[in-house]
Amino acid sequence: MDVSRWNQIQELFEAIADLSTEEQRAYLDIHCQDNELKKEVLQLVQADEHVDDILPKQYDIASAEATLVLPKMHPGVMVGPYKIIRKIGEGGMGWVYKAEDTRLERYVALKCLAPEVATDERVRFRLMQEAKAISRLDHPNVCVIHDVGAMSDGGMYIAMQYYSGETLENALTKGALAPDQVVRIAKQIAYGLQAAHQRDIIHRDIKPANILLSEDGIVKILDFGIAKLSGVDITLGGARMGTLRYMSPEQLQGRDMGLQTDVWSVATLIYEMLTGREMFDGEKSSTVLHAVMHEEPDYSLAVFQEYPLFKRLLTAMLHKKPEKRLDSMGKVLQWLTTIQPIAQAGAKNRARQDQRIESQEAVVKEELTDLYLLRLAAALTAHVGPAAPKLIQRYASTSDNREILINSLVGHIKPQYRQIVSQQLKEIAL
C-alpha cells in the first residue's frame, strides 16, 4: 500500500477510535471524501473493537496469575492421582505442569485451573469443550487426553499425554526452518486438522505456541480450548478468542468462521517457518489489523524466489475472502505433497555442498599433517636457524593450505633467496 494512503488511514482511525458510531460517521463525512478510504477506516475500527473484546477478555483469565496464588503447587504435591514434578508452561486459562500419574506410572501434562478461575461457568465450559474435542480425535498429530477432574480446592484439571520436545514458537526463535522441514511439519499439522474438520471441529487458535515438535519427529496440535464443536460456538461476552496476528480477516471482524479460518492460520505458520519472521507485524494492533484485512505478505524474500510454489500455495490459502480460499486441508496436503520433492531436492543440494566443503577442509588438514610440518621445519632451519619451528607453528594455524603457509614463511628469507627456497619447500613430499 502507498505510504501516504496508510498514513491517512492511520490518522483518521486515531481521530475516531474513541467516538461513538454516529460521531465516527459524521467525522468521516466531513474529513474524508474518498468512499473507499472511508470504508477501510470503518473496517479497521470495527476490527479494533473486536480486538478490544478479544485481547483484554482473553487475558482476564491469564492476568489472574497476578492475584491467583497456588502455594501448594510445588514438586511432590498431589492433584488427584497426579504428582506435580515441575511447571512447564502457562495457558490462557491457567498453568501447565509435568506430573506423574501414580496409578499407571507415566508422565502427563497437567493443565490446572485455580478455583477463582474454575468457578467461572464459561471457563469450565471451555475446559470441558477442549476435553470433548480432543477425545473425539484419535490421531497421531493431535495431543491425547487422559483425564478431566476437579481439584480438592475447587479448581479443575485436564491431564494430557506428556511429550518431550519444544513448541514451534520456541523453534522459531532460532530463525527460519529449512523448506523440506517446513513441508514435513506443515503436512502433519494439516493431517491433524483434517481429522478434526472431518468431525466438525474447527480449532480457531492455530499459532506457533499451540504446535509441539516432539523429539521423535511427530508434530502435535495442542489447545482445542476455543474449538468450534458440533455447531457450538464458544465466545466470552461475544468476543471471539484467538491470537491477533494469526487470526483470519473474518475472525478479526467477528464474522462466521468455517474451516477456512484454520487454513488461513496454517498459512501464517508456513510463512513464518519459511522466513523466520511474522507475516504481518507492527507495534500497533491497528497496523496488524489493517495488514491482515488489506495487505499482502512480502513475497520478495529469497525463499519464494527459489521455491515459487510456496508463494502459489500461500496465495491460495490467504485470500481475504474465505469462500475463495482453499476450502479443505486435503487440498493443502495436495499442494504440500507436490512441493515436498522439490524441497527435498534443495536439501540434498545443500547436503552435497556441505560435503564438498567438508572434503575441501579434509584436504587442507591432510596437507598440513604433523609429518609434513616436521619436514618443512627441517628444510627451513637451514635458512632461518632455530626460529623455523616457531615460524611454522605461527603460520600453520592461520594458513588454509600448503601454498599459503610457504608464501608466509619465505617472507622471512632474504629477497635474493626467496624464489629458490620457495621451490625447495614446495618440493617437500607430504
For residue 137, the domain's CATH number is 3.30.200.20
Mean pLDDT of the chain: 80
Residue 261 has pLDDT above 70, yes or no: yes
Residue 353 lies in a domain: no
Residue 361 lies in a domain: no
Residue 428 has pLDDT above 80, yes or no: no
Q: In the predicted model, what is the mean pLDDT of residues 383-392?
A: 86
Percent of the chain with pLDDT over 70: 77
Q: Which of 90-99, 233-242, 280-289, 383-392 has the lowest mean pLDDT?
A: 233-242
Q: In the predicted model, what is the mean pLDDT of residues 393-421?
A: 83
State which residues form the domain around 268.
Answer: 165-348
Q: Which of 22-31, 152-161, 266-275 has the lowest mean pLDDT?
A: 22-31
Q: In the predicted model, what is the mean pLDDT of residues 20-41?
A: 77
Residue 213 has pLDDT above 90, yes or no: yes
Residue 32 lies in a domain: yes
Residues 126-152 pLDDT 10s: 667 767 777 778 899 999 888 888 887
Per-residue pLDDT at 226: 55
Q: Which of 104, 128, 161 delimits the end of a domain?
A: 161
Per-residue pLDDT at 11: 72
Residues 180 and 290 in one domain: yes
Residue 362 lies in a domain: no
Residue 125 has pLDDT above 80, yes or no: no
Residues 187 and 326 in one domain: yes
In terms of pLDDT, which residue wins out, 252 or 319? 319
Give the model's confidence band at 262: pLDDT under 50 very low, under 70 low, under 90 confident, else very high: very high
Per-residue pLDDT at 63: 37
Give the model's confidence band at 65: pLDDT under 50 very low, under 70 low, under 90 confident, else very high: very low
Residue 356 lies in a domain: no
Residues 330 and 229 in one domain: yes
* Active site (catalytic) residues: 205
User: Can you give the pTM of this predicted structure?
Assistant: 0.66
Residues 215 and 297 in one domain: yes
For residue 233, the domain's CATH number is 1.10.510.10
Percent of the chain with pLDDT over 90: 34
Residues 343 and 374 in one domain: no
Winning range, highest mean pLDDT, from 64-73, 217-226, 323-332: 323-332
Residues 340 and 383 in one domain: no
Residues 259 and 319 in one domain: yes
Residue 23 lies in a domain: yes
Residues 204 and 335 in one domain: yes
Residue 140 lies in a domain: yes
Q: Which of 65, 83, 113 delimits the end of a domain?
A: 65
Residue 358 lies in a domain: no
* SS (HEC) of the chain: CCHHHHHHHHHHHHHHCCCCHHHHHHHHHHHCCCHHHHHHHHHHHHHHHHHHHHHHHHHHHHHHHHCCCCCCCCCCCEECCEEEEEEEEEECCEEEEEEEECCCCEEEEEEEECHHHHCCHHHHHHHHHHHHHHHCCCCCCECCEEEEEECCCCCEEEEEECCCEEEHHHHHCCCCCCHHHHHHHHHHHHHHHHHHHHCCEECCCCCHHHEEEECCCCEEECCCCCCEECCECCCECCECCCCHHHCCHHHHCCCCCCCHHHHHHHHHHHHHHHHCCCCCCCCCHHHHHHHHHHCCCCCCCHHHHHCHHHHHHHHHHCCCCHHHCCCCHHHHHHHHHHHHHHHHHHHHHHHHHHHHHHHHHHHHHHHCCHHHHHHHHHHHHHHHHHHHHHHHHHHHCCCCCHHHHHHHHHHHCCHHHHHHHHHHHHCCCC
Number of structural domains, the chain?
A: 4
